[in-house]
Amino acid sequence: MKSGELFAGVGGLGMAVDAVFGSTPAWFAEFDEAPSKVLEHHYPDVPNYGDVTLVDFTAAPHTEIRSGGFPCTDVSLAGRRAGLSEGTRSGLWSEFRRSIAEDRPEWVVIENVRGLLTARGEAPHQAWADADADVARWERVIALIEHRITKRKGDRDYVARKKQERLRCTRQRERAVARRQREDRLIPRAIATVLRDLADLGFDAEWTLLRASDVGAPHKRERVFILAWPAENTSRSRSGGWPAG
């Protein structure tokens, strides 16, 4: 069996996948220079196609296994949390999806950070944007009131009136925040988008969350792993479970 790894980095996920499936790498797709040098050193005879957005997967050698950890930049709790929207680095999931559609592997292994469970899978809708704008507006008003209170702190009557005004504005801000939170819950999460896209391509999938400490590392480092396969193989896949390594 042959494997192809997208967003390969130094090939760590691909090594694990090959160990489990008994496969060998047919190609990589890694854009950054430093990890590409590592791949070249360890796999001098395996081509690296570089920028995944430029790869024609209908022309690349077919692989039975497709793996990769698409960029976590915009889904990580440590990042901007912009999600999978078009134009984000994490939005390069669309290229992973394209590779599956064009090559139709038998197995797909996807890895990403825990934030995939909570980050947005789509761009915010208009009602969310309106609520967010309201939050920002009330925050500006409150900041202005606080500035005026500080500037005229010696005028007790004025300060008392402004504090009441600030209280009313704070309540309005709280309502806007609650409305934004309600609207945010209506936006599909990133993992839901990934699983939906796989289903649209005719793939069934299972996912799990694993910690580095589960395999002996002295830290938590939680990661989401998704295993997908063509839906027509579902009964065979479920009876056999995860492939034995």
DSSP result, 5-63:
EES-TTSHHHHHHHHHHT-EEEEEE---HHHHHHHHHH-TTS-B---GGG--TTTSPP-
- Strand runs labelled E in 79-172: 107-113
Amino acid at 58: T
Q: What span, in angstroms and rounded, lies between the C-alpha atoms of 75 and 72?
A: 5
pLDDT at residue 244 in the model: 47
Instruction: Per residue of the chain (245 residues), give pLDDT as tens.
Output: 999 999 999 999 999 999 999 999 999 999 999 999 999 999 999 999 999 999 999 999 999 999 999 999 999 988 778 889 888 899 999 999 999 999 999 999 999 999 999 999 988 899 999 999 999 999 999 999 999 999 998 899 999 999 999 999 999 999 999 999 999 999 999 999 999 999 999 999 999 999 988 888 898 889 999 999 999 877 654 555 555 44
Long-range contacts of residues 72-79, Cβ cutoff 8 Å, at least 24 apart: 72/112, 72/113, 72/115, 72/116, 74/119, 75/112, 75/113, 75/115, 75/116, 75/119, 75/190, 76/113, 76/115, 76/119, 77/113, 77/114, 77/115, 77/118, 79/115
Q: Tell me, what's the pLDDT at 102?
A: 96
Residue 238 has a pLDDT of 54
Half-sphere CA count of 212, side-chain side, radius 13 A: 8
Which neighbouring-strand residues pair with 47? none
- Under a CB-based contact definition with an 8 Å cutoff, are residues 138 and 169 in contact? yes
Q: Which of 8, 10, 72, 109 is catalytic?
A: 72
Helix extents (H) in 72-124? 93-103
pLDDT recorded at residue 243: 52
pLDDT at 59: 95
Distance (Å, rounded) from C-alpha 28 to C-alpha 43? 10
Catalytic (active site) residue 72: yes
Q: How far is CA 131 from the centre of its chain?
A: 24
Enter the tokens of residue 223: 């990661």
What residues does each domain of the chain span?
A: 2-122+189-240, 126-185
Q: What's the CATH architecture for 2-122+189-240?
A: 3-Layer(aba) Sandwich (3.40)
pLDDT at position 234 is 73
